[in-house]
Structure 1
Amino acid sequence: MPVHGEHARTMAPPPGYGAILLTLQGNALTTGLTPAVHLDGHRVSGAFGPTLYPLRPGRHRVDVHTQWLRRYGQAGMEVDVREGQVVPVFYAVPWHQFTTGSIGHETQKRKGVGVLVAMLAVVVLVVALCVGGPILLS
């Protein structure tokens, strides 16, 4: 059973198990909907912040994505877990829906800030032309 929240960082896996400590970086305010987490192909509960997933020792697959209008931010990795070991995994949602998420053993940077800034600049330019264009032409 997964354990969510800061308490998960200090917990040890039960005897005979290892664990993955998955940190979904950000929060619902800055990244949108909570990403979907799959361990070894099975959907498990996830929450922003750290979540401890006790697992039998061996190789496990972690896949994460989010969805808003369409599925995006897909990222996954294989993780080897030993008995008594807690393996840190971090996931970051991208800034927009047109790229993948970031996943790894250390804190991740969110992808896509350049495209986001470019899209916002185009919107500002179009609005400026619509509002200021008629003034310049008169």
Structure 2
Amino acid sequence: MTQPPPAPQPTGTVYLTVQGSVMTSSMLTPNAWINGYPVTVRYGANPIPVPAGPVRVDLSAQWMRTYGQASIAFMLAPGQTVPVYYAAPMHQFTTGSIGFEPVKRKGVTGFVAIMAVVALVMLGSLALLIFGS
């Protein structure tokens, strides 16, 4: 005798928005896991159906190393849609931002400082070439 298939489990939707784009964040999209399972995401809106109940969303970015780690946990009711927003940081030395509303990218001050130092070194080198002869 065969067993009947299991009854379908009620689901809800995690409406995951990865803020930024290939031009403003990284050419590589962040990595995402929902309840420990990898999920393919892209920049912009990602509606992801998941079983109702406790949900944990983890994201991180990867370049030379893993950075921008962020996670959020919540209860998802059957039929409910929960918006989740993630923004990777501007550099590899801080965590990402995640929340139920649009979030700001971390690391802007550090990124601007690094770019200012690079610009000053380049301008200093150029000044030495022009006026040092």
TM tier relative to shorter chain: 0.7 to 0.9
Query: In 1, Cα distance between the equivalents of 2:68 and 2:86?
Result: 10
Match of 1:96, SS? coil
Aligned to 1:89: 84
Task: Give TM-score, length-normalised by structure 1.
Answer: 0.84
Q: Does 1:67 align with 2:62?
A: yes
Alignment check: 8 A CA contact 2:16 2:47 kept: yes
Task: Give TM-score, length-normalised by structure 2.
Answer: 0.87
Matching residue within 15, 26, 45 for 2:20: 26
Q: Percent identity?
A: 46
Q: Does 1:105 align with 2:100?
A: yes
Query: In 2, Cα distance between the equivalents of 1:95 and 1:18?
Result: 32
Letter of the 1:67 partner, please give it: Q
> How many residues get paired?
125
Aligned to 2:3: none
Aligned to 2:40: 45
Cα RMSD of the aligned pairs, angstroms, is: 1.7
Gaps of 5+ in 2: 1-7
Write out per-residue CA displacement over residues 40-67 of structure 1, whole angstroms, 9 at most, x where no aligned residue: 1111111111111112221111000111
Query: In 2, Cα distance between the equivalents of 1:45 and 1:122?
Result: 37
Higher Rg: 2
Write out per-residue CA displacement over residues 2-57 of structure 1, whole angstroms, 9 at most, x where no aligned residue: xxxxxxxxxxxx98211111001111121111001101111111111111111222
Aligned to 2:4: none
Query: In 2, Cα distance between the equivalents of 1:28 and 1:130?
Result: 32
Match of 2:90, SS? coil
Higher relative helix content? 1
Q: Give the CA deviation at 1:119.
A: 0.3
Gaps of 5+ in 1: 1-13
- Structure 1 residue ranges (4+ consecutive) displaced by more than 4 angstroms after TM superposition: 134-138
